[in-house]
A and B are shown apart, each in its own frame.
Chain A
Amino acid sequence: MEPEQARSKTTIWYRVLQPVVRWSVTRIASYELEGIEHFPARGSCLLVPNHQSVLDPLLLQGVLPRAVDSMTKSTQFERGFFRWLLPRVHTFPVRRYRVDAQSVRVLLRKLDEGRVVCVYPEGERTWDGTLQPLRKGALKVMLRAGVPVIPVGLRGMYDIWPRWAKRPRKGHAVIRIGEPIHFGEHRGREAIEAALPGAEALLRSVLLELTGETPREPDRPESAAEDAGRSGVEAI
């Protein structure tokens, strides 16, 4: 076994639970998966979905063909069972009320190991179903990591289980995987700060298109790419 394969192997817990999770989630949410050809078969990447529902991570981990490591709010690890289980299904905590350097270190380490890591750039679930502002911290990690960013648009999950509802109800979801975005690797605070506005504009426009909130206008890709290019960000 190659060293990289050995490091990035999937835990038995993940392999056992993935079909169970997929079966359970799809009892509630039937789904369509579009753009799977954009999902890399190997190598590290950042998966960047919009966040509509508490079921989003389960749906993605359930249906995607590679193990997805997820950054999850630290309070999920509070109870004994979840504290035991979550690390075994490739999940690591992030403290949301502070800049959590440790979670960034873990994320970058996982990318070095060739893994797929999921980060929700809105930082929390949407209240109204629309894409929320993208967090600077998440964008900085993308710029620093230098790995392909795979945008994912989730539709329908909000209607199934919005954050203000106690219980889910059955519905249909669409998972649209977009083309990889190569932001490049940015070193140093100045380089990252300079690239932030372009990266934010580009990622936002792509996510809006994937979620169907805003149809992409003919002149938008060029202008977004121009903005990104000015700050050292490339769209492919």
Chain B
Amino acid sequence: MALVDLLYRCHWCGTESMRGEARWAECEGCGRAFEHVGAGGTIRVLEASGRRVDFPIGELLDPHADRDDGGAMRAGLGSAAETGSDAGPGEDSHETRVRARFADREEAIRYRGTLLGFVEHFGRWRPGTLRLDRQALRFSDGASGVRLWALRDLRAVQTSSSVVQISPPESGVAAFRFLDDSPRRWEDLLRAYLQDTWKAEGRGEIIEFQPHIRSR
């Protein structure tokens, strides 16, 4: 990953036209450049005018921060309540290329005869397409068909290093590595859609997404 995977949407202009590498990113929408300069997670922002301003990185992720257009950074991520979107079920979808793998069994880890725990046994990585809409997450690889998980049935969502993992209802884990997109963006998307699904079904507000989805 790189800074651009974290700051995948410009804090000011709201467009997802960030590019960059390592600890540097630039918005092609408004021309601002972002650099991680350290000092406690500080990002130095270079504006088109040449002015440099330092921000804590958390402020650039704040969905309620001020922006050029007065919107929210994560606007459009999927929360109908936040975006004012009137998109109906299934109308608001995202798609990207991934490599996926699935763990459907676990193996014991022992040391000197003592059971220390269990680890997943993953299959091989398979290239394919991941599609998210307001109802479900789908993976298709063109060969073995489509795997589909209804959002309402997912048990956990998390990012592990650069991989987004979900815990499907039937057991096991599915892991997705993003080839052209930010894993952080997809984690945010999934969580926003799950939040909406839970609320729409009267299951409360989700307060934890791992180790299992917990609401209040």
Task: Point out the residue from A98, A137, A162 that lies within 8 Å of B36, measured CB to CB.
Answer: A162
A128 lies within 8 A of B57 (CB): yes
How far does the alpha carbon of A40 sit from the alpha carbon of B156 in the complex, in Å? Answer: 36
A96 lies within 8 A of B211 (CB): yes
Chain B residues whose C-beta falls within 8 Å of the C-beta of A83 in the assembled complex? 109, 119
B205 to chain A, nearest CB (A): 13
B61 at the interface (CB under 8 A from A): yes
Chain B residues whose C-beta falls within 8 Å of the C-beta of A162 in the assembled complex? 6, 36, 41
How far does the alpha carbon of A137 sit from the alpha carbon of B110 in the complex, in Å? Answer: 24
B158 lies within 8 A of A124 (CB): yes
Chain B residues whose C-beta falls within 8 Å of the C-beta of A159 in the assembled complex? 36, 38-41
B161 at the interface (CB under 8 A from A): yes
B2 lies within 8 A of A158 (CB): no
B104 at the interface (CB under 8 A from A): no
B171 to chain A, nearest CB (A): 9
B112-136 contacts to A, CB under 8 A, are: 115-120, 122
How far does the alpha carbon of A130 sit from the alpha carbon of B59 in the complex, in Å? Answer: 11
Chain B residues whose C-beta falls within 8 Å of the C-beta of A103 in the assembled complex? 117
The 8 A CB mask of A102-120 against B (1 = contact, 0 = none) is 1100100000000000000
B160 lies within 8 A of A75 (CB): yes
Task: Point out the residue from A75, A88, A137, A164 that lies within 8 Å of B119, measured CB to CB.
Answer: A75
A27 at the interface (CB under 8 A from B): no
A155 at the interface (CB under 8 A from B): yes
Chain B interface, >50% SS class: strand
A158 lies within 8 A of B41 (CB): yes
Chain A residues whose C-beta falls within 8 Å of the C-beta of B6 in the assembled complex? 127-128, 162, 164
Chain B residues whose C-beta falls within 8 Å of the C-beta of A93 in the assembled complex? 109, 116-119
B195 at the interface (CB under 8 A from A): no
How far does the alpha carbon of A123 sit from the alpha carbon of B36 in the complex, in Å? Answer: 24
B165 lies within 8 A of A97 (CB): yes
A231 to chain B, nearest CB (A): 18
A129 at the interface (CB under 8 A from B): yes
Task: Point out the residue from B2, B56, B106, B208 that lies within 8 Å of A164, measured CB to CB.
Answer: B2
How far does the alpha carbon of A75 sit from the alpha carbon of B101 in the complex, in Å? Answer: 13
B119 lies within 8 A of A97 (CB): no
What is the total number of residues of chain A having a CB less than 8 Å from a CB of chain B?
Answer: 42
B117 lies within 8 A of A94 (CB): yes
Chain A residues whose C-beta falls within 8 Å of the C-beta of B36 in the assembled complex? 159, 162, 165
How far does the alpha carbon of A123 sit from the alpha carbon of B51 in the complex, in Å? Answer: 38
Given contacts A92-B109, A164-B2, A164-B3, contact A106 B158 (CB under 8 A): no
Chain A residues whose C-beta falls within 8 Å of the C-beta of B211 in the assembled complex? 95-100, 123, 135, 137
Chain B residues whose C-beta falls within 8 Å of the C-beta of A163 in the assembled complex? 1, 161
A111 to chain B, nearest CB (A): 15
The 8 A CB mask of A55-98 against B (1 = contact, 0 = none) is 00000000000000000011101100001000110001111111
Chain B residues whose C-beta falls within 8 Å of the C-beta of A124 in the assembled complex? 158-160, 210
Q: Which residue of A lies closest to B172 (CB)?
A: A97
A136 at the interface (CB under 8 A from B): yes
B58 at the interface (CB under 8 A from A): yes
B61 lies within 8 A of A127 (CB): yes
Chain B residues whose C-beta falls within 8 Å of the C-beta of A78 in the assembled complex? 119-120, 122
B152 at the interface (CB under 8 A from A): no
Chain B residues whose C-beta falls within 8 Å of the C-beta of A96 in the assembled complex? 156, 158, 160, 165, 210-211
How far does the alpha carbon of A162 sit from the alpha carbon of B184 in the complex, in Å? Answer: 13
A166 at the interface (CB under 8 A from B): yes
B121 to chain A, nearest CB (A): 9
Task: Point out the residue from A92, A106, A165 that lies within 8 Å of B1, measured CB to CB.
Answer: A165
The 3 closest A-B pairs by CB, nearest first: A129-B41, A87-B111, A159-B38
Residue positions of A touching B, CB distance < 8 A: 73-75, 77-78, 83, 87-88, 92-100, 102-103, 106, 123-124, 127-130, 133, 135-137, 155-156, 158-159, 162-167, 169, 171
11 residue pairs from A and B, CB less than 8 Å apart = A75-B160, A87-B110, A87-B116, A88-B111, A92-B117, A96-B160, A97-B210, A99-B212, A127-B6, A130-B56, A158-B40
**Beyond A78-B122, A87-B116, A88-B111, 8 extra complex contacts between A and B, CB < 8 Å:** A95-B119, A97-B158, A97-B165, A97-B212, A129-B57, A130-B56, A130-B58, A165-B23
